[in-house]
Amino acid sequence: MSPAPRPLSRRTFLRGAGVAMGLPLLDAMAPVRAAGKADVPRRLVAIETNMGILPQYFFPEQAGAGYALPPYLQRLARFRDQFTVFSGVSHPGVTGAHAAEKCFLTGAPHPERGGFRNWVSVDQVAAEHLGDRTRYPSLVLGVGAEPQTLSFTRSGAPIPSEKSPRKLFERLFVQGKPADVAAKVAELRQGRSTLDFVAAQSKRLDKSLAPADRARLDQYYTSVRELERRLASSEGWEHKPKPKVTAPAPEDEKDGREFARQTKLMLDVIKLALETDSSRLVSVFVDTTPIHNITHHGNRPEVLAELRAKEEGQFDALAGFFQSLADAKEEGATLLDRTMVLYGTCMGSANSHSNSNLPVLLAGGGFRHGRHLAFDTTNNYPLTNLFVSVLQRLGVEAREFSTGTGTMRGLEMA
């Protein structure tokens, strides 16, 4: 009898996999745009606020067009024909109250359970298809005191967020000195050599693996080859001048309680990133933890008034962002026409820690807007179907995403 195979050391594989999971943190991983390739730029900005919002001030009472604007949407009144508001939507199986914040763009169920492993986020699926057209395949950003991330790789690894508008501005528009460029190129080349080492080490395992594990490892090789391709071509971006803008670099707001102002500062830089086509995919995690205590308001009038004022500030920042996109023209269209802005929360009610009936709206992007799409508030419609629509609008041939098995019912392209 042949001896029983020795268990594969998890550390052996993770020593290589850890390197691969860290690669999305590099500044430039996109290949240079193919010469002569023309396309209509389609963009996505996805924003989540993690402590929920007061639903009674967000959801319209009437479905369809012509609904009366509730207080929060009144802050967006001048754009009512350019956004769609949803009710009765949620992510199937996503429970766990605050734990659900990490699943807003992935839809991975049961984040509160031990051993939970996230899925890939919709922005990163899009980046796999569109990332080669811009200097930065995606921008992963955070706002607030301790922002987390909305973006996750194929392996479910979180991509850390940048929370400084000033640092983001410098990354996008401040040209490094020749020595800085040389250092970045060296970093990229070192990344390629590390990948070569990881691939070589992993291939030594081939003969000792069962067929199922060998198939998983082959998938890993494919990912490594794709990362190698991106790293190799990204050197071209390092030698290209960054775009110039007339706007000054913003000064960061340090007070985490001023998350509405922090959000505005970040959105101002995002608008510049979109306008210069530096990236077409952006995720923004808005951390409102400093007001966590008043989200448990117990329907006390004075606490509700304080919380409402804080949340209205977020919608004022959103309205300003819509306006800046509407004012920016691109080949006869506006940035708002070509940019989907998704705004939502991971909880339908922070007061009760509910993860159903999520407040969500979608603006711009070339859809027919101006309506309230009202679904069953008890048996919710999958929000992940909206992500299938988003991917298709970006030009990605997707029929499903996460728990979504079709496009969003009632949402039509213009």
CATH number at residue 274: 3.40.720
Residue 91 lies in a domain: yes
| Residue 107 and residue 402 in contact, taking contact as beta carbons nearer than 8 Å | yes
Rounded CA-CA distance 391/56 in Å is 30
Residue 16 lies in a domain: yes
Domain boundary at 221, 241, 261, which? 241
Residue 300 lies in a domain: yes
Rounded CA-CA distance 131/57 in Å is 37
Paired residues of 84 in beta bridges: 362
Residue 6 lies in a domain: no
Same domain, 186 and 170: no
pLDDT over threshold 90, residue 216: no
What tokens were used for 98? 């605050």
Pick the more confident residue, 101 or 227.
Answer: 101
Same domain, 48 and 155: yes
Tens of pLDDT, residue by residue over 155-184, are 899 999 999 999 999 999 988 666 665 665
- Dihedral sign of CA atoms 311, 329, 339, 130 in order: negative
Residue 4 lies in a domain: no
Residue 411 lies in a domain: no
pLDDT over threshold 50, residue 67: yes
| Residue 83 and residue 323 in contact, taking contact as beta carbons nearer than 8 Å | no
Place 283 in a pLDDT band, splitting at 50, 70 and 90.
very high
Q: For 1-95, where are the alpha helices, taking DSSP H only?
A: 10-22, 71-74
Tens of pLDDT, residue by residue over 178-204, are 666 566 556 655 655 555 656 666 666
Residue 205 lies in a domain: yes
Domain boundary at 241, 268, 292, which? 241
For the entire predicted model, the pTM comes to 0.82
User: Residue 199 sits in which domain range?
Assistant: 11-33+176-241
Same domain, 66 and 93: yes
Place 15 in a pLDDT band, splitting at 50, 70 and 90.
very low
Output phi, psi for 85, to 5 deg. Answer: -110, 140
Q: Please give the angle made by the CA atoms of 187, 193 and 194, to the nearest 5 degrees.
A: 85
Cβ-based neighbour number of residue 264 at 10 Å: 21
Cβ-based neighbour number of residue 361 at 10 Å: 20
Same domain, 54 and 150: yes
Q: Can you give the pLDDT at residue 281?
A: 98
Same domain, 132 and 59: yes
Place 11 in a pLDDT band, splitting at 50, 70 and 90.
very low
Mean pLDDT, range 291-314, rounded to an integer: 90
pLDDT over threshold 60, residue 396: yes
**Number of separate domains in the chain:** 2
Tens of pLDDT, residue by residue over 229-254, are 555 555 555 667 889 999 999 999 99
Q: How far is the CA of 191 from the CAs of 105, 152, 187, 205, in angstroms? A: 28, 20, 6, 22
Same domain, 153 and 60: yes
- Dihedral sign of CA atoms 324, 330, 332, 337 in order: negative
pLDDT over threshold 50, residue 30: no
Residue 398 lies in a domain: no
Domain boundary at 241, 267, 288, which? 241
Same domain, 201 and 220: yes
Same domain, 104 and 71: yes
Among 379, 285, 268, smallest CA distance to 51 is for: 285
Pick the more confident residue, 221 or 14.
Answer: 221
Place 38 in a pLDDT band, splitting at 50, 70 and 90.
low
Q: Can you give the pLDDT at residue 14?
A: 41
| Residue 413 and residue 367 in contact, taking contact as beta carbons nearer than 8 Å | yes
Same domain, 64 and 205: no
Please name the residues in contact with 391: beta carbons below 8 A apart, sequence gap of 6 or more: 122, 125, 126, 398, 401
Place 270 in a pLDDT band, splitting at 50, 70 and 90.
very high
Q: Can you give the pLDDT at residue 227?
A: 55
Same domain, 233 and 257: no
Please name the residues in contact with 310: beta carbons below 8 A apart, sequence gap of 6 or more: 260, 288, 291, 294
Mean pLDDT, range 90-105, rounded to an integer: 96
Same domain, 189 and 232: yes
Rounded CA-CA distance 323/304 in Å is 28
Same domain, 338 and 263: yes
